[in-house]
Structure formats: structure tokens, C-alpha cells
Amino acid sequence: MAAHDLTNPHDAGSHGSLKSYTTGFLFSIVLTIIPIAVVLSGWLQGVANTLVLMAAAVLQFAVQLIYFMHLREEKKPRYNLVSLILGLIILLLVVFGSMWIMLYNMVAT
């Protein structure tokens, strides 16, 4: 039987440090508390409320990619990044296409 090296099953360079995980966690907590506070307290109304929620969501997405999925630390070809971009394009097409269809049907009736 072949002996397997089980001492280092993962590439040590692909994992973050405790400091980066803590920083990402704190950013995630802050970016979760901001929209909750804005909505529950009623500080903003209408478009401003929507913009704050969307900005917090986009920043939360970026924090997750950078600190927890280690997207910036990849040394080989960026297949994960290309797959992510393709997935985002498909997601945006589905969401905006659905919104366009619903808006068209709402105006037409």
C-alpha cells in the first residue's frame, strides 16, 4: 500500500490568518447591523433607504469574497473568478429580466 502524507492535506497558503478572519467577521457584522438599524429606526425613506440596503449588500458580498473565499489570493489561473463573473451575469440577466417582465405586465393590465 502506498503511504499518504496526511500531515498537510491543504495548501497552507490558501487559508487566511486569524487576523483576516476576524477583520472579515467584524466587517460582516457592521455591514449587517447598518441595514437593520436603518430599516428598524426609519432613518431613511424611499430611494435613500434602498440605496443604503443595496450598498451594504454589495459591500457584504465583497467582504465575503475577499476575506472568506480568498478570491484575491489565488496563484493559478483565475478559473474561480471567471466562473463567478459568469454566474453574476446570469444572475443579473434573470433578476432584471424578471423585473422587466413583471413591470411590463403591470403596466399592460
pTM for the full model? 0.64
Q: What does each C-alpha distance from 24 to 11, 27, 39, 72, 102 come to in angstroms?
A: 21, 5, 23, 14, 37
pLDDT for the residue 71? 75
What pLDDT is stored for residue 30 in this prediction? 96
Q: What is the pLDDT of residues 1-57, one digit of tens each?
A: 555 555 555 555 556 789 989 999 999 999 999 999 999 998 989 889 889 998 998
**So what's the pLDDT on residue 1?**
52
Q: How far apart are CA 46 and CA 17, in angstroms?
A: 40
Domains of the chain, residue spans: 15-73, 77-109
Q: Which of 26-30, 64-68, 81-85 has the lowest mean pLDDT?
A: 81-85
Distance CA 82, CA 72 (A): 13
